[in-house]
């Protein structure tokens, strides 16, 4: 348990709320450990069928807490490779590898690692007033938390480089228009809309949704032939699921399906 993360489970949705609002939810080690534990619960707990990540207060997340990196307070140069390997990379790998829909409600500014953690999620909704900032270049760093991987894939090299080199804030509506996120919604509707979507997906055929996530993520490094083979294999598994049997039976019976995620 930690005050830096609010964890709530309901209707199959595990909601994880970053909770250091006075620091715009910047990451210290305690919040890193709490979020890792929350994600591991999302992975291991079968009653969790979708995850919703968001932030408390006016920001989503301002990335690394720079107060913990003040060069005037330590004689030693920090080894950022160590902190990336210990905290940020395992988090990114978890978000991408958990075979459940991972939603992010970006309630305000998402800067540095905060922006790229949001972009690692499967479905990103953002408040219209939110902004995405690749803040790294302002302090002499490179985009991490998968940013150099996700930005060119989502946006192409020109826009990825523009954002990363200038650190200009990208408004949520432009992010949606560019295809970087799923959609921008009115600020006062964000949590209602994100929670409703998370609940809907959690009640869906989550075994198949997990395979869908896996297939789409594999596309970037596969040839068409490899991807067709993968689709065959994953469809074989989906076709053996109880959810598929229920989906077809419910369609034929003209009733709502009762999916169990298996």
Positions touching ligand T3D (CB under 6 A) are 23-24, 26, 62-67, 69, 80, 83-84, 109, 111-113, 133, 135-136, 139, 141, 144
Nearest distance from residue 32's CB to ligand T3D, in Å?
9
Nearer to ligand T3D, 111 or 119 (CB): 111
CA distance 25 to 13: 22
The encoded tokens of residue 246 equal 């229920």
Region of residue 133 (phi > 0: left; psi between -120 and 50: alpha; otherwise: beta): beta
The residue whose Cβ lies closest to ligand T3D is: 63
Nearest distance from residue 132's CB to ligand T3D, in Å?
10
Nearer to ligand T3D, 65 or 193 (CB): 65
Nearest distance from residue 49's CB to ligand T3D, in Å?
30
Nearest distance from residue 74's CB to ligand T3D, in Å?
12
Nearer to ligand T3D, 164 or 219 (CB): 164
Neighbouring CB atoms inside 10 A of 228's CB total 11
CA distance 185 to 132: 15
Nearer to ligand T3D, 37 or 141 (CB): 141
Nearer to ligand T3D, 83 or 150 (CB): 83
Distances (CA, A) of 232 to 85, 218, 235: 35, 14, 5
In contact, 167 and 138? CB cutoff 8 Å: yes
Nearest distance from residue 45's CB to ligand T3D, in Å?
28
Beta strand pairing call for 102-106 and 109-111: unpaired
């Amino acid at each position: 348990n930690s005050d830096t993360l609010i964890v709530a489970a309901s209707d199959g949705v595990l909601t994880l709320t970053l909770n250091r609002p006075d620091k715009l939810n910047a990451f210290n080690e305690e919040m890193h450990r709490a979020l890792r534990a929350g994600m591991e619960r999302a992975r291991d707990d079968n009653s969790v069928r979708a995850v919703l990540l968001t932030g408390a207060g006016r920001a989503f997340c301002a990335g690394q807490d720079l107060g913990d990196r003040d060069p005037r307070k330590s004689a030693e140069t920090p080894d950022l490779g160590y902190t990336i390997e210990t905290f940020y990379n395992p988090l990114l790998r978890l978000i991408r590898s958990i075979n459940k829909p991972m939603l992010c409600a970006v309630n305000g500014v998402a800067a540095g690692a905060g922006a790229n953690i949001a972009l690692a999620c499967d479905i990103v909704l953002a408040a219209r007033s939110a902004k995405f900032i690749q803040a790294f270049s302002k302090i002499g760093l490179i985009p991490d938390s998968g940013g150099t991987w996700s930005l060119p894939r989502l946006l192409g090299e020109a826009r990825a480089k523009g954002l990363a080199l200038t650190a200009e804030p990208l408004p949520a509506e432009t992010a949606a228009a560019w295809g970087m996120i799923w959609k921008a919604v009115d600020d006062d509707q964000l949590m209602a809309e994100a929670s409703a979507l998370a609940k809907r997906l959690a009640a869906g055929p989550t075994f198949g949704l997990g395979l869908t996530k896996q297939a789409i993520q594999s596309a970037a490094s596969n040839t068409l032939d490899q991807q067709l083979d993968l689709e065959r294999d994953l469809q074989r598994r989906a076709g053996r699921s109880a959810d598929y049997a229920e989906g077809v039976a419910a369609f034929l019976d003209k009733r709502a399906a009762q999916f169990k995620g298996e």
